[in-house]
Amino acid sequence: MHYDFKKQIRSFGYAWKGIRCVVGKEQNLNFHFIATVCVVVAGHFFHITRMEWIAVLLCIGMVIGAEMFNSAVERIVDLVSPQRHPLAGQIKDIAAGAVLVCALTAMIVGLIIFVPYLTRFFL
């Protein structure tokens, strides 16, 4: 079996192109990026542990990835159903709900990690 390195490099190029399609253009994704910066700054400020960094980074990746999947679902639904359709609306709502589940989970993980640091800092 022959491994096609050029094909692999092209696939990474397509992936970066996909990221550029949404960065700066999706309002919710921009919010998540701002939250990411705040969490990373707080992590550095409080010197969170390696395991806490792993949890934070997994949550960041989960939420941003979910938001990108949601953007892709919205675009594909708009492509196949440009007119309003109840099923198209449900599909978009389900995808948005998945992002919300991921974001709420990340928020809970963030609270578990940062509340003890905040408590020690302010008390």
Cα–Cα dist 120/38, whole Å: 19
Answer yes or no: 67 catalytic.
yes
Nearest to 21 by CA among 60, 68, 62, 79: 68
Which tokens go with 5?
């390195």
Q: Which of 26, 52, 67, 74 is catalytic?
A: 67
Annotated active-site positions, please?
67
